[in-house]
């Protein structure tokens, strides 16, 4: 099924495995939350690239694995840009003792959950976000 989901890379050589299956999975999660997918762009990049975005747009001088920009103008729709540091995903996978693909899929859906309105600023919100990530990961068919 075609979805308005695109995957790009900036300043690194990275290609997503199974982009069609991942797009279907992401679209299914959005549909389960009764939201309409308008467009979603993932940009895979390096730590340096994402750090620059973090400083320039969010005034945060730290490394991060993901930055999500919500571009939706209409409530109930999903439209955004999600930047993911492949360097951070690799490091986090090693730190957490998980595979690169499992960590990447967690981060992919983490950004979508933010676009769906879920937050992770407090310990309670972070725990709820982790449960939603786990639930979403369990629905993968690839």
Residue 114 known to bind ligand: yes
Looking at residue 1, what is its pLDDT?
60
On whether residue 78 sits in a domain, the answer given is: yes
Tokens 């290609």 belong to which residue?
15
12 is in which domain, residue-wise?
5-137
Residue 33 known to bind ligand: no
Looking at residue 3, what is its pLDDT?
77
CA distance 100 to 20: 18
Looking at residue 41, what is its pLDDT?
98
Which positions of the chain have pLDDT values less than 70?
1
Look at the chain and report how many structural domains it folds into: 1
**Among residues 82, 83, 81, 105, which one has the least CA distance to residue 92?**
105
Surface-to-core class of residue 120, CB atoms within 10 Å of its CB (0-12 exposed, 13-18 middle, 19+ buried): middle
Looking at residue 142, what is its pLDDT?
85
Tokens 């998980």 belong to which residue?
98
Mean pLDDT, the chain, as a whole number? 96
Q: How many CB atoms lie within 10 A of CB 76?
A: 9
Q: Which tokens in the block code for residue 38? A: 């308008």
Residue 120 known to bind ligand: yes
Looking at residue 42, what is its pLDDT?
98
Residue 29: CATH number of its domain: 3.40.390.30
Q: 26 and 108 in contact (C-beta within 8 Å)?
A: yes
| CB-based contacts of 3, cutoff 8 Å, min separation 6 | 23, 24, 26, 27, 37, 40
On whether residue 86 sits in a domain, the answer given is: yes
Q: What is the pLDDT of residues 24-63, one digit of tens each?
A: 999 999 999 999 999 999 999 999 999 999 999 999 999 9
On whether residue 70 sits in a domain, the answer given is: yes
On whether residue 94 sits in a domain, the answer given is: yes
């Amino acid at each position: 099924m075609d979805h308005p989901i695109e995957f790009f890379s900036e300043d690194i050589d990275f290609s997503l495995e199974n982009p069609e299956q991942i797009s279907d999975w992401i679209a299914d999660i959005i549909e389960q939350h009764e939201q309409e997918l308008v467009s979603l762009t993932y940009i895979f990049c390096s730590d340096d690239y994402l750090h620059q975005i973090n400083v320039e747009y969010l005034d945060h001088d730290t490394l991060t694995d993901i930055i999500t920009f919500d571009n939706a103008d209409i409530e109930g729709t999903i439209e955004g840009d999600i930047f993911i540091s492949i360097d951070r995903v690799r490091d986090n996978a090693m730190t957490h003792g998980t595979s690169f693909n499992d960590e990447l899929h967690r981060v992919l859906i983490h950004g979508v959950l933010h676009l769906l309105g879920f937050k992770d600023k407090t310990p309670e919100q972070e725990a709820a976000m982790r449960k939603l990530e786990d639930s979403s990961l369990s629905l993968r068919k690839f």
